[in-house]
Amino acid sequence: MFIPTTKKECEKLGWKQLDIILVTGDCYIDSPLVGVSVIGHCLINAGFRVGIIGQPSLDSADDITRLGEPTLFWGVTGGCIDSMVANRTASGKPRRTDDYTPGGVNNKRPDRAVIAYSNLIRTHFKNCAPIVLGGLEASLRRIAHYDYTSNKIRKSILLDSKADYLLYSMADKSVVELARHLKDGLACNTIRGLCYVSKTAPADGIALPDFDTVQSDNTAFSSMFATFYHNNDPITAKVIYQKQDTRFLVQNPPPLTFTQRELDEVHGFEYMRDAHPYYLQNGSVKALDTIRFSILTHRGCYGECSFCSIAVHQGRTVRSRSKHSILQEVKEITKHPLFRGNIMDVGGPTANMYGFECVKKLTKGACENKSCLFPEVCPTMEIDHAKQIDLLNDIKRVPGVKRVFVTSGIRYDMILADQKNGIRYLQTLIRNHISGQLKIAPEHSSPLVLDKMGKPGIGTLYKFRELFNKFTEKDGKKQFLSYYFIAAHPGCRLEDMKQLKSVCTKELKYTPEQVQLFTPTPSTRSTMMYCTNTDPFTGNNVFVEKSSVGRQRQMEHLLHVPGFLTDENNFGKHHDAKRSDAKRSDAKRGDTKRGDTKRGDTKRGDTKHRDTKREFNTRPSSRKQGRRGKING
């Protein structure tokens, strides 16, 4: 069922007053891929009366007061995407469109939505119930952070919003625990995944450099970030705290990673897979084209790309759903009146991380000074695509399903590292699960830039491309690779973009038509490099192109088409260039979700793929910001 968004719906349920009201910067979409929806269903399942208000007007009391005041708390989220990323391009221009707003015009979500909605609540409800922040925007801004729009270091959003609590990461469990504590009148300060403000420093915990110091000292800011980053694993994390003005921002360790049973339960709720009719009267919601019939198979990502926020939001530990749970969801999808046989995506933050995880990580936590995949795949990470192959085959057999696509990003280095089933997985994708093109994200070709990004070397791409072309030709398919690239990432100079241009034209035979202009988003390693000109983990100096002219020049250099590729006859002869990313579906629109590009504005930012699929939970789409958003995190 839809969670109530009007007083009339509450009356039909016999609810005179709600326990919790969730306020979001998106319109209300009831989907397992939208965080505020998942959080609402988790709370209702736990016995609480919940309502949702999407995109309330700041100019009147009508929206924010229509459900009355909750007995326990207000939950506030900016939506599936950080509002500053949703509203502005990498060059600071206003975005014209919004996929989560009915009608598509970007005129409903305020800048700094979490702060704006918190102020709105206090304006119309004096001595109001506690305000609890959640979702991607709150999660990534929970500590002192660099804000690209204002070009300054800001305090925790918990202090700036004057809210009472902040739930970070995937908050499905912690939000229910918080609701129970508030209902029973218990202290909340021990709940995992909770940030709160205290007049005194906690007795146990790690002290971060105070806010006044990190504002003026880049070395202290880098040290603060490194400690913060390394305290995001549920098994090893400690309480950390930071003095901000006369008070202390305290962060408890993150929530324990979901078990498979718990993850299955969350996806077993009855979701409508549509926007609430109250909002649809204002127009269609474009995000539904992507997420309505998509399947989330797992949470978390151990890729640790430097520009990606998933590590500090969803975490580095992957938890997969059971095959039974996923197949049950597919069967429910086939009953939907709008379903025409196509499952649009089976994946997660990274599609091919389903079904396996490092045993050491599950028992002892993620390694502090070692990445699972970079600079090469860790030998203790026993990559095996067998379970995902079996899952895709079983989904195809469900009555009513015609096609099953994998459109989440894949790590091609993991395919090459899987000696047992990597080739079989690639062949399965080529034969059955891509529609004309497979999008991959090498991001760059320069060894120095790739090192700063935490991405594999260009040689890995060449090996994968050779295999892809080989099996595509063998199967008689007219399919191709398209590539995501980033310009002006820390460490990248114009000379590096010239080298990348040469690689595209001479080696890949590919003409880029979409290039992301690096967008610094809060709480990522790349953003720290951008702000401080220093790698926070190594202390080494990093070149950063900060001028708008220089950043734009890097992007435009890669997009310039050489003369020999402009000839129509020659163009068709280049293997990967027959079609490119911008030549299909919505890529020609002025606004897409991939960052600043020559084609227009996108929201690919610093996240990986589309974090549209989670929010009070949020999963990270800037590219990895958000593939999914949620008050869970």
Using CA atoms, how far apart are residues 308 and 297, in angstroms rounded to an integer?
Answer: 20
Whole-number pLDDT of residue 435: 87
Q: Is the pLDDT of residue 587 over 60?
A: no
Q: What is the pLDDT of residues 456-503, one digit of tens each?
A: 999 999 999 999 999 999 999 999 999 999 999 999 999 999 999 999
Check pLDDT > 60 for residue 436.
Answer: yes
pLDDT in tens, 102-147: 999 999 999 999 999 999 999 999 999 999 999 999 999 999 999 9
* Rounded mean pLDDT, 249-274: 97
Amino acid at 497: M
Write down the pLDDT at residue 567.
Answer: 42
What Rg value do the Cα atoms of the chain yield, rounded? 23
Residue 530 predicted with pLDDT over 80:
yes
Given the structure tokens 């989330």, which residue do they identify? Answer: 296
How confident is the model at residue 105, as a pLDDT? 97
Query: What is the pTM for the complete model shown?
Result: 0.90
Per DSSP, which regions of 488-618 are E strands? 516-517, 596-597, 600-601, 612-616
The pLDDT tens digits of the residues spanning 405-418 come to: 999 999 999 999 99
Task: Report how far residue 164's alpha carbon sits from residue 159's, in angstroms, rounded to the nearest whole number.
Answer: 9
CB 612 within 8 A of CB 291: yes
- Reference 249, options 186, 158, 131; nearest CA is 158
Q: Which domains does the chain have, with CATH numbers?
A: 7-197+247-251 (3.40.50.280)
- The distance from CA 56 to its chain's CA centroid, rounded to whole angstroms, is 23
SS3 30: strand
| DSSP H helices in 281-342 | 287-291, 323-334
β-strand partners of 22:
52, 75
In this prediction, residue 282 carries a pLDDT of: 96
pLDDT tens per residue across span 56-87:
999 999 999 999 999 999 999 999 999 999 99
> In the block, which residue shows the tokens 């969803």?
314
Amino acid letter, 187: A
In this predicted structure, what is the pLDDT of residue 615?
A: 40
Q: Tell me what percent of the chain is helix, strand and coil, each rounded to the nearest 5.
A: 35, 15, 50
The reported pLDDT for the residue numbered 547 is 96
Q: What residue type is assigned to position 405 of the chain?
A: F
What is the average pLDDT across 558-577? 47
Q: Give the pLDDT band of residue 590 (cuts 50, 70, 90).
A: very low
Q: Which residues contact 542 (CB under 8 A, 6 or more apart)?
A: 452, 490, 491, 529, 533, 534, 535
Q: Strand 516-517: give its sheet, edge to edge.
A: 437-443, 480-487, 516-517, 596-597, 600-601
Q: How confident is the model at residue 214 (pLDDT cuts 50, 70, 90)?
A: very high
- Kindly report the three-state secondary structure assignment for every residue of 257-275: CCCHHHHHHHHCCCCCCEE
Euclidean distance between CA atoms 542 and 601, whole angstroms: 27
3-state secondary structure of 613: strand
* Bridge partners (DSSP) listed for residue 88: 94
Mean per-residue pLDDT, 168-192 = 97
Cβ atoms of 538 and 547 within 8 Å: the answer is no
- Of 149 and 573, more confident: 149
Per the CB < 8 A criterion, the answer to whether 517 and 484 are in contact is no
Round to the nearest angstrom and report the end-to-end CA distance of the chain.
22
> In this predicted model, what pLDDT tens digit does every residue of 25-44 receive, in sequence order?
999 999 999 999 999 999 99
| Residue 184, pLDDT score | 98
Tokens 């804000």 label which residue? 147
How confident is the model over 358-386, as pLDDT tens digits?
999 999 999 988 999 999 999 999 999 99
Q: Please check whether residue 172 is in contact with residue 618, taking contact to mean a CB–CB distance below 8 angstroms.
A: no
Q: Please write down the long-range contacts of 222-227, taking CB distance under 8 Å and 24 or more positions apart.
A: 222/528, 222/532, 222/534, 222/536, 222/539, 223/536, 224/143, 224/144, 225/523, 225/525, 225/528, 225/536, 226/536, 226/537
Question: What six digits make up the tokens of 550?
Answer: 């220089």
pLDDT at 574 over 60: no
Res 610 pLDDT > 50: no
Alpha carbon distance 380, 140 (integer Å): 30
State yes or no: cis peptide before 375, omega within 30 of 0. Answer: yes
pLDDT averaged over every residue in the chain: 90
Per the CB < 8 A criterion, the answer to whether 51 and 112 are in contact is: no
Whether the pLDDT of residue 571 is over 50: the answer is no
Q: Which residues contact 231 (CB under 8 A, 6 or more apart)?
A: 206, 237, 238, 240, 251, 253
The angle at the Cα of 205, spanning 136 to 181, to the nearest 5 degrees, equals 60
Distance of alpha carbon 610 from alpha carbon 77, whole angstroms? 18
- CA 326 – CA 382 distance, rounded (Å): 23
CA atoms within 13 A on the CB side of 372: 27
pLDDT reading at 286 higher than 70: yes
Farthest CA pair distance, the chain: 74
Looking up tokens 């993620």 gives 366
Angle at 47 between CA 43 and CA 53, to 5 degrees: 45
Task: Encode 220-239: b = buried (16+ Cβ within 10 Å), e = exposed.
Answer: bbbbbbbbbbbbbbbeebeb
Interatomic CA distance for residues 66 and 24, integer angstroms: 15
How many whole angstroms separate alpha carbon 156 and alpha carbon 254?
Answer: 17
| Banded model confidence at residue 561, pLDDT cuts 50, 70, 90 | low
